[in-house]
Chains A and B, each alone.
Chain A
Amino acid sequence: MGTLLRIGWINLKRDRVAQALTFLLPIVFFSIFASVFGNQGEDRTPRIRVAVVDEDGTDFSRRVVEGLKKETGLRVRTTTPPEANAPALDRASAERIVRSGDVPVAVIIPRGLGAAFSEQGFGGDGPRVQVLADPSDPIAPNVVQGLMQKVVMTAAPDLLMAGGMKQFEKYGGGLTAEQRKAVAQWLPMLKASAGGGSGGGAGPMGVGVDVVDVMRTDNRRGSLISFYAAGIGVMFLLFSAVGGAGAALLEEAESGTLDRLLSTNIGMRGLLAGKWVLLALIGIAQLTVMFLWGWLVYSLPLFSHLPGFFVMTMVTASAAAALGLVLATLARSRAQLSGFSTILILTMSALGGSMFPRFLMSESMQQVGLLTFNAWALDGYLKVFWRNAALWQLWPQVLVLSVLAGVFMTLARLLARRWETA
């Protein structure tokens, strides 16, 4: 018993990789998840990005917009590009930026809302506020809807009151001159208190708000499934690329076939290129099988998005294969490769959104996520399957992943020199 413990202890003590996997990996993961889900640091409350379109242009609507801007939980933009002096958003451009994923929600304050309010107060059958939403973020539309109610109550209590009094007079009989005077004195006080405090008095009344799904996805569930297929698919693509590259280079170096290959006509460059193409093809097949399964079992809309799927799959698999080769050329042994790559891949997958959608993370974590391979790949798949983006709209993802593939291959070529003439 004692001898077994001693042998085990010596083995662990001398195996750095095992130590890292045993002690370092859990800590790394704990920290990542604490950051992602615990919203550590300055970014304590993730702010929801919301576009606001004021079609009404009344005093009331302007006060609502101002009220929304004051909400700490929101980051409001009212212009097409976020700059202050850019042209104001209209309904079409707001819908466009929701659909493109720039913001998860847009609020449209329709023409006539202010007038209806001052005439009817609450409960009238005037125009209704529309919240244009991308339902891939299930939280933002509800938060915005709730805050809308609060802001309306707190931003223009005087107008509401005035509208309410008119309704009262209409159905409850006229006010006396004295009552009218008292109300007239009270309304400016109400206006003065607007926008302050925590918005009490919401009561059972509220502004009419409709949430509109602007993604117009005919198969919402299937499209969401595509996100998870891509998330998990990309993570395992990385694992299999690293495993395959390890087998391709480290195993061949150990068995002597690498030496033999290098003594033939192909040379290191040809060898790496061959391995890269092979790994990329395997990756493409792997992702294709995954999405086909999604289509078969979960009605993932694969065939209506084939071109985008193929473009993303090709660049993603190529870049993953190149990353696998870099890691394999970097590692001195297969144990080192598997330890190091497990840490790297799980970290990138957590930060890059393979485990938890990035758009639900805080903004700073979303920015950090862009440093990972997964984020670019997943953004691309999201564009294809969720946003129905045209092929050309994938250019940032395709560009970044292609450049990454090139950089990785160059690095792998440089690192592979150690197997050439010593």
Chain B
Amino acid sequence: MSVLSVVNARKSFGAVKALDGVSLDLREGELLALLGPNGAGKTTLIRAIAARLRLDAGEIRVFGRIADGRRTPPELGIVPQEIALYPQLTARENLDAFGRLHGLSGADLARQVAWALETTGLGDRAGEPVQQFSGGMRRRLNIACGVLHRPRIVLLDEPTVGVDPQSRDRIYDVLAGLARQGVSLLLTTHHLEEAEARCSRTVIIDHGKVIAAGTLGELVEQTVGRYRLVTLRLDGAASDAAAAEITRGARTIETDPADPRLLRARMRDVAIELPPLLDRVRQAGRSVDDVEVRGPSLQSVFIHLTGRELRE
């Protein structure tokens, strides 16, 4: 069931089309990654859903109801990209303040604050001012303040930007826990690995348009297909003649123009296709230092779709 639908959303800032007809659905209990390079329109879309920005055209439905775009729908929890906390307040005081502003009080508030401190692993630092926290701790608290009031949908704008891998894992553990409770989460990221490893579905957005959407498997099927990417590193640069010998008859093999020792091949069945390639290398008078086999990834999907790598 779709809890949040964006239909043909359009928004321009002057001549720049930030959103150029975006449509997407967020399903109940899923963790949906909104993936795209900087300036793709991710934050604009999140702000529009949160009613912090008015669309030029299109509509947003929350639990089937058209959002008026003036007030943040009450079912939503927002986690902004910035660390939107009061640095001089302690973790507990920040949680308490935002809990109250979201309408919590009394025993319910105390219970939720305790839950948030426990979930984010900040229980033993609850009495310290936030300004003394590390980047990862602030990020976790930033998320906790947005989900404290048990929203049914949570929008997270780059929730893991600038944090170390351990904190990142911890953040995704928190999000996965929420999803298990039936909360639907939409997060923006430009970390392919995160989207691939931790999200149930991915929507790829670029230049204000959705260019692909689905699970990793669906995206791979729709784009690059079920190929493995095989990279060989030779003991030395292959001469033109040798390269011609090795790549003979195989359209899916190419040398890396930046590093002539590297050969890349796309293979549908590695067990059948790799041995003949190794033979040809040997015949060309070269030996293989290293072999890397990679399954289809969002990276390859993204490159296939946009013609470029996704970089921060």
A, B co-complexed? yes
Contacts of B145 in A (CB 8 A): 260
Q: How far is the CA of A259 from the CA of B101 in the complex (A)?
A: 13
A255 touches B51 (CB 8 A): no
B-contact bits for A248-283, CB 8 A (1 contact / 0 none): 000000011101111111110000000000000000
Q: How far is the CA of A265 from the CA of B99 in the complex (A)?
A: 11
A182 at the interface (CB under 8 A from B): no
Contacts of B29 in A (CB 8 A): none
A4 at the interface (CB under 8 A from B): no
A-contact bits for B73-107, CB 8 A (1 contact / 0 none): 01010101111111000000000001001110000
B70 at the interface (CB under 8 A from A): yes
Contacts of B86 in A (CB 8 A): 257
Interface of B is mostly: loop
A-contact bits for B221-263, CB 8 A (1 contact / 0 none): 0000000000000000000000000000000000000000000
In the assembled complex, the CB of B299 is this many whole angstroms from the nearest CB of chain A, namely 30
B52 touches A265 (CB 8 A): no
In the assembled complex, the CB of A261 is this many whole angstroms from the nearest CB of chain B, namely 7
A255 touches B82 (CB 8 A): yes
A263 touches B83 (CB 8 A): no
A259 touches B103 (CB 8 A): no
In the assembled complex, the CB of A247 is this many whole angstroms from the nearest CB of chain B, namely 11
* Chain A residue nearest in CB terms to B82: A256
Contact with A259, one of B52, B74, B98 (Cβ below 8 angstroms): B52
A421 at the interface (CB under 8 A from B): yes
In the assembled complex, the CB of A421 is this many whole angstroms from the nearest CB of chain B, namely 5
A1 at the interface (CB under 8 A from B): no
Contacts of A5 in B (CB 8 A): none
A92 at the interface (CB under 8 A from B): no
A-contact bits for B32-54, CB 8 A (1 contact / 0 none): 00000000000000010011111
Count how many chain A residues have C-beta atoms less than 8 Å from C-beta atoms of the other chain: 14
Contact with A260, one of B69, B78, B103 (Cβ below 8 angstroms): B78
Contacts of B71 in A (CB 8 A): 267
B146 at the interface (CB under 8 A from A): yes
Q: How far is the CA of A267 from the CA of B72 in the complex (A)?
A: 10
In the assembled complex, the CB of A308 is this many whole angstroms from the nearest CB of chain B, namely 36
A422 at the interface (CB under 8 A from B): yes
Contact with B81, one of A256, A257, A421 (Cβ below 8 angstroms): A256
A264 touches B98 (CB 8 A): yes
Q: How far is the CA of A266 from the CA of B80 in the complex (A)?
A: 18
Contacts of B51 in A (CB 8 A): 263, 421
B54 touches A263 (CB 8 A): no
A422 touches B52 (CB 8 A): yes
B72 touches A262 (CB 8 A): yes
Q: How far is the CA of A262 from the CA of B80 in the complex (A)?
A: 12
In the assembled complex, the CB of A273 is this many whole angstroms from the nearest CB of chain B, namely 14
Contacts of A264 in B (CB 8 A): 72, 98, 101-103
* Chain A residue nearest in CB terms to B70: A421
What are the 9 A-B residue pairs with the smallest beta carbon separation, nearest first?
A256-B82, A256-B84, A264-B101, A263-B72, A260-B84, A256-B80, A257-B84, A263-B78, A421-B54
A interface list, Cβ under 8 A from B:
255-257, 259-267, 421-422
Q: What are 29 contact pairs spanning A and B, CB under 8 A?
A: A255-B82, A255-B84, A256-B83, A256-B84, A259-B52, A259-B78, A259-B80, A260-B80, A260-B146, A261-B101, A262-B72, A263-B50, A263-B51, A263-B52, A263-B76, A263-B78, A264-B98, A264-B101, A265-B101, A265-B102, A265-B103, A266-B101, A421-B51, A421-B52, A421-B53, A421-B69, A421-B70, A422-B53, A422-B54
